[in-house]
Amino acid sequence: MAKFERTIRTDIHALAAWTEHIILENSMSASLEDTSDFVSGSAVCCVRVFERYSYLGQNRVSLSVTFFDGGDGNVHISAIASGGSQAVMFKINTFGEENFLEEYRSALNRYQP
DSSP string, 37-84: EEEETTEEEEEEEEEEEETTTTEEEEEEEEEEE-SSSEEEEEEEEEE-
Region 78-102: what's the mean pLDDT? Answer: 74
- Does residue 86 surpass a pLDDT of 90? no
Domain locations in the chain as residue ranges: 2-108
Q: What is the total residue count of the chain?
A: 113
Q: Return the H-helix or E-strand segment holding 30.
A: none
- Does residue 93 surpass a pLDDT of 80? no
How far is the C-alpha of 81 from the C-alpha of 57, rounded, in Å?
A: 14
* pLDDT tens digits for range 8-47: 999 999 999 999 999 999 988 999 999 999 999 999 999 9
91-103 in b/e burial notation, b at 16+ Cβ within 10 A? eebbebbbbbbeb
The answer to whether residues 99 and 79 touch, using CB atoms and an 8 Å cutoff, is no
Region 67-88: what's the mean pLDDT? Answer: 87
Regarding the domain delimited by 2-108, which CATH topology (the fold level of the hierarchy) does it fall under? Protein Transport Mog1p; Chain A (3.40.1000)
